[in-house]
Amino acid sequence: MRLLLALFLILNQFSFSQNADLRILKSINQHDHPLWDESMKVTSDGIYPFMVISPAALWLTGYLNKDETMKRNGVKTVIAIGVNIAITEGLKESIRRPRPFTTYPDEIILRRKAGRFSFPSGHTSCAFATATALTLSTKKWYVAVPAFAYAGLVGYSRMRLGAHYGSDVLAGIIVGVGTSLLTWQCDKWINKK
């Protein structure tokens, strides 16, 4: 956990200077496009049903096909998402980075209400945790491609809506993918014993 926190702090401080982070965000966030902005709100909010329906669909598929591995994958997906949320919220409360619309109210347009802290992006981490879990469960490109495309669009939507910097989204990707990979690895270790 400390190593992960140190990685994010280093990433936040050195990989993206605040000026570059703000410039990227402004290029994505500026100018109103009402139809596009509404579609970004729907994309962003769609993560909640995506992260509930995905593990349920895996488990139900396993149940209907009498496939214990797929049922287990549904359970692992729930665990991965839960661990992801705990890590993301823990990092937000530890780091306490203000939202970009709070720090730069004259430069960033807020298009969707958001909580107090910005780093890392919870929507993005949940989207990538779910996409990774679906990919590990099915091992099918036609599941992976749309799952990761949607996850990427969720990350973009968080910047378009003015809720996150690019570094928040990048950290969300790392946490999301990492928690699913770690959950699958822990399951392998447990099942070897």
pLDDT in tens, 11-61: 555 444 667 878 888 878 888 888 888 888 889 999 999 999 999 999 999
The pLDDT value given to residue 4: 61
Q: Measuring CA to CA, which residue among 41, 117, 40, 134 is closest to residue 81?
A: 134
CATH label, 34-192, candidates 1.10.10.10, 1.20.20.10, 1.10.606.20, 1.20.1260.10: 1.10.606.20
Q: Measuring CA to CA, which residue among 176, 145, 163 is closest to residue 37?
A: 163
How much is the pTM? Answer: 0.85
The pLDDT value given to residue 12: 59
- Neighbouring CB atoms inside 10 A of 7's CB total 13
**Residues of the chain below pLDDT 50:** 14-16
The pLDDT value given to residue 118: 87
